[in-house]
Chain A
């Protein structure tokens, strides 16, 4: 059993009104303090390379994506958001996806697909806003998922740096 002893109140505290005045003075001062509101849609949130937004397929400089439809990201996805159908191609990589869908309503932005990808084809972008009028419109196909490499540069470099660190630590 714990006996909690309440603090004995002094006369001024028992009268209540001085304490009321103290409280009022605090709230009055706070009226002129710095606002902490962010005007969000007009002023977007600051984004860095660590920002893990929606996954995107990186378009290489030759105009293709690196994906070989191996299905590792599909398997790694804990939310079953990714659907891939593979097909053949004349390019040296021989296989490419004919269908690569990510259901953005299922995606939890965990980044497992980015980690799983052996071809550095999928990366987490800094895009976070998601709004549309139908569920179907939020199932992104390959064309909606493509982003030029230049737009993803910061994230790609960040991921490469992290991977390098792991390599060195495991070799020593």
Chain B
């Protein structure tokens, strides 16, 4: 089997996994919200409602695609794709597991691309997600959309700094920009960066919520004030793409958190575990983190916008800087 075929196969597996996770998350969101509100949730389509995402997908595809009058048609159609694309691109550098050995043959480590500067690539492409949001809002020719997208872009840019500074502290500790090297630096539970960098972890999680426009920072689509925010005017599959993009961005962020702070594919107390076990451990950690996203959404109310900005610029950013300086001093000592 040629190396190209292996690479394509890995891409298909990872990409398919990402899309499936997005679909599962749309069901999980409704199920978790239902459980937290003494309800049962979707249970009509398939056993336990497991086929609900499929039904939703069919519904979205058959819905009419409305393009509002006065909208910029090209940008209006481009924006949902732009919103979903960064997550699809960034998942490539996530190192899911170590060396894959199947039937006595090694197929290299399980990640689509092992970049030396994986984390830089991920952050750079990841921040392109804001384009989808702001173009979607602007091209809609609607005041709710433009207000939502303006808020979203202001928020994403503000928290991008905190996010990167929190990641930088981890990079300083691991001494590498390579995500695989970073995750390998946390082979034992004690070495997980979540213990060595608790402040960076908390800041990173907060910034992640803001970056993915999730509760309690979902100002982009705050329903009571902005109808639906930047995707007010969207319908059908384009609307679904925004949603899928959000869920996929959450998935990538969960994977990134696992890699940076939770030891990646390392299994607790089993230093030389099988690669499949490592993959399972990685997925379990990421799933827990994804659950946190849902859990927080159905618990916390939305902030006010000025509170969000104050938290971002006056609290999170100075703390992240302080943490970075302290880490730098401690490492060079």
A-side residues, CB < 8 A to B, are 17, 20, 23-24, 26-28, 30-31, 33-37
- Asked if B40 lies at the interface with its beta carbon under 8 angstroms from chain A, I say yes
Task: Return A6 CB to nearest CB of chain B, in Å.
Answer: 15
With a 10 A CB-CB cut-off, give which of A17, A34, A35 has the most chain B CB atoms: A35
Q: Are A23 and B202 in touch, CB under 8 angstroms?
A: no
- Asked if B188 lies at the interface with its beta carbon under 8 angstroms from chain A, I say no
Known contacts A17-B202, A24-B295; A30 and B36 CB within 8 A of each other: yes
Known contacts A20-B300, A23-B300; A36 and B39 CB within 8 A of each other: yes
Q: Are B295 and A35 in touch, CB under 8 angstroms?
A: no
Task: Return A12 CB to nearest CB of chain B, in Å.
Answer: 15
Closest to B37 in A: A30
Task: Return B129 CB to nearest CB of chain A, in Å.
Answer: 25
- Asked if B127 lies at the interface with its beta carbon under 8 angstroms from chain A, I say no
Closest to A25 in B: B299
Complex alpha-carbon distance, A31 and B83, angstroms: 32
Of B37, B39, B299, the residue contacting A23 (CB under 8 A) is B299
14 new A-B contacts at CB < 8 Å, known A27-B295, A30-B36: A20-B296, A20-B300, A24-B295, A24-B296, A27-B36, A27-B298, A30-B35, A30-B38, A31-B36, A35-B40, A36-B39, A37-B38, A37-B39, A37-B40
Count of chain A to chain B residue pairs whose CB atoms are closer than 8 Å in the complex: 32
Closest to A17 in B: B202
Task: Return A170 CB to nearest CB of chain B, in Å.
Answer: 47
Complex alpha-carbon distance, A142 and B192, angstroms: 78
Closest to A24 in B: B299
Closest to A16 in B: B311
Of A17, A24, A34, the residue contacting B38 (CB under 8 A) is A34
Residue-wise, chain B 26-45 has the 8 Å CB interface mask toward A (1 for contact) of 00000010011111100000
Chain B positions 233-287 with a Cβ under 8 Å from a chain A Cβ:
none
Task: Return A16 CB to nearest CB of chain B, in Å.
Answer: 8
Complex alpha-carbon distance, A26 and B36, angstroms: 9
Complex alpha-carbon distance, A23 and B38, angstroms: 16
Q: Which residues of A contact B37 (CB under 8 A)?
A: 30
Closest to B303 in A: A16
Complex alpha-carbon distance, A28 and B292, angstroms: 11
Q: Which residues of A contact B32 (CB under 8 A)?
A: 31
Q: Are B40 and A27 in touch, CB under 8 angstroms?
A: no
Q: Which residues of B contact A35 (CB under 8 A)?
A: 38-40
